[in-house]
Amino acid sequence: MSARIIPVQPFDYVVFGATGDLTRRKLIPALYHRFADGQFDERSRIIGVSRSELSDADFQKFAGDAVSEFVDKVDQHKDVIARFVSCFSYIANDVTDKDGWADLEKALRTDPEIERAFYLAVAPGLFGPICEYLDNKGYWRRDARVVVEKPLGQDLESSMEINDAISEVFAEDQVYRIDHYLGKETVQNLLALRFGNILFEPIWDAAHIDHVQITVAEDVGAGTRGYYDDSGALRDMVQNHMMQLLCLVAMEPPASDDANALRDEKLKVLRSLKPITGDNVSKFTVRGQYKGGAVNGGSVTSYQDELPDDKKGSKTETFVAIKAEVENWRWSGVPFYLRTGKRLPSRVSEIVIQFRAIPHSIFDHAEGAPKPNKLVLRLQPDEGVKLFLMIKDPGPGGMRLREVPLNLSFAETFSERTPEAYERLLMDVIRGNQTLFMRRDELEAAWRWIDPIRQAWDNASDAPQTYTAGTWGPTASVALIERDGRTWHEGDA
């Protein structure tokens, strides 16, 4: 056990949607790691709720299987797994059936020292009814927490309906809206880098930064995921993950790391985003959909071919590029280029801060012109930070300038495993720390910016531009940045 692990209070974590994909792939493996590291022990309970008729033993087996499938073999220890799954119990309950709640009432412990959280890993249509039952049955406590995650609506209106239903029962300080990008180590590192060092903040503005790029590229496809076609990349990735990243780059320094201090600053950024409406939608946004092609050496089919028959002809975008602007003193005139897509050449997420050129070069006679500095924060894979600097190429032969990266690779610098986002977030819920969760007003401000883009696309007669799987999206996304005299940062270039 690492000395830095601070154990949390024992808890009852009730997971609705207990047998679903999110629970299996993300929640159970994340909880396993926290258990294996000693952050909680057998005094805590994970109570699964779903419609399937399972026994406690079945659910414990389900948990054990999830660990063996999704946790690295080196981290799997038989005795730890056995102790871990003993924390799991199960209640078969159709949440829309009023009579099915008695077992849950029995399972929950009343000791106020036991933290209580409800994780709603179910369709958002069930959030309202579940909260209502929790309220009626008295499972609710002033210190109980409810955890929800996207899709929190399809637009501002539907998101407000969902939030209204939750807030009928839970106060805002009890609601934990997950954006798992905020739990990623490098994303938190952005805060450490900006506000834990003197170096960057004085030059973190329009006078020194030319533009910012945020890329979240995935090599996987999307068409076989039922939910995706109703969502598309704009709702699936931009409205939440990408806009949160943008906020962390652009926000003013908060006065403290208090959850609301930080979220107040993010909200100001969201409210400062220049609306993209009318003709500007086609000027500042690009949407694409992948055709067949080759990714990682293997051939893959088109998005259309992956879709079931009743969805064929779908105009859902699998790629988005946007030129965004934050209209305030700090960022006036600094574009934020966002791009995300499925079936791109590789899985890579990064934030690139491109600084301005030096004001005057004294190296006219040197080989190699000074290139503007660049800070690259790599979220995945190979998490780390690179600062590209100009140096003198060593050796004789006159002044030759060369660009080299100062490279902080997490894998090389830290021997520990990089924790998954959910590990941090699930424990923050128990600690009662909302810093890395979205507040309602943030979510709604993000929808306010997204909705006009979505509407313009929906009303447009044209379809998304196609791109060959395994390329960096439609050519229009290259034009989006190149007509401003800039280029997308690719890999270590």
> For binding to ligand BG6 (CB under 6 A), which residues are involved?
218, 236, 349
- Report in angstroms how near the CB of residue 218 gets to ligand BG6 at its nearest: 5
- Report in angstroms how near the CB of residue 214 gets to ligand BG6 at its nearest: 13
The DSSP code sequence of 59-91 is HHHHHHHHHHHHS-GGG--HHHHHHHHTTEEEE
Find out whether 20 is annotated in a ligand binding site: yes
Find out whether 236 is annotated in a ligand binding site: yes
If you ran DSSP here, which 8-state letter would residue 415 be given? Answer: -
Nearest to 13 by CA among 43, 53, 52: 43
Find out whether 215 is annotated in a ligand binding site: no
Alpha carbon distance 273, 282 (integer Å)? 17
Alpha carbon distance 425, 412 (integer Å)? 25
Find out whether 184 is annotated in a ligand binding site: yes
Residue nearer to ligand BG6 on the CB measure, 60 or 318: 318
Find out whether 19 is annotated in a ligand binding site: yes
Catalytic residue flag (residue 241): yes
SS3 of 276-305: CCCCHHHHHEEEEEEECEEECCEEECCHHH
Q: Looking at beta carbons, which pairs linking 368-375 to residues 24 or more positions away fall under 8 Å?
A: 368/393, 368/400, 368/401, 368/402, 369/401, 370/401, 371/403, 372/210, 374/489, 375/200
Tokens representing residue 172 in the block: 């805002």
Residue nearer to ligand BG6 on the CB measure, 218 or 229: 218
Active-site hit among 241, 360, 365, 489 = 241
Query: Which residue's CB atom is positioned nearest to ligand BG6?
Result: 236
Residue nearer to ligand BG6 on the CB measure, 24 or 116: 24
- Report in angstroms how near the CB of residue 138 gets to ligand BG6 at its nearest: 34
Find out whether 21 is annotated in a ligand binding site: yes
**HSE (side-chain half, CA atoms, 13 Å) at 324:** 29
The 3-state DSSP class for residue 53 equals coil
- Report in angstroms how near the CB of residue 344 gets to ligand BG6 at its nearest: 12
Burial grade of 248 (CB within 10 A; 0-12, 13-18, 19 or more): buried
- Report in angstroms how near the CB of residue 299 gets to ligand BG6 at its nearest: 21
Alpha carbon distance 17, 130 (integer Å)? 11
- Report in angstroms how near the CB of residue 347 gets to ligand BG6 at its nearest: 7
Q: Are 292 and 302 spatial neighbours (Cβ–Cβ below 8 Å)? A: yes
Residue nearer to ligand BG6 on the CB measure, 22 or 324: 22
E strand or H helix that includes residue 148: strand 145-149
Residue nearer to ligand BG6 on the CB measure, 48 or 223: 223
Find out whether 17 is annotated in a ligand binding site: yes
Residue nearer to ligand BG6 on the CB measure, 115 or 218: 218
Angle 239-243-386 from CA coordinates, rounded to 5°? 140
Find out whether 219 is annotated in a ligand binding site: no
Alpha carbon distance 158, 378 (integer Å)? 34
Residue nearer to ligand BG6 on the CB measure, 218 or 451: 218
304 C-beta neighbours (distance < 10 Å), count:
17
Residue 131 phi, psi dihedral angles, 5° rounding = -60, -40
Instruction: Reply yes or no: is the peptide bond before residue 396 cis, omega within 30 of 0.
Output: no
Find out whether 300 is annotated in a ligand binding site: no
- Report in angstroms how near the CB of residue 22 gets to ligand BG6 at its nearest: 10
Q: Which residues are catalytically annotated?
A: 241
Residue ranges for the known binding site for NADP(+) are: 17-24, 51, 94-95, 150
Residue ranges for the known binding site for substrate are: 180, 184, 218, 236, 342
Residue ranges for the known binding site are: 17-24, 51, 94-95, 150, 180, 184, 218, 236, 342
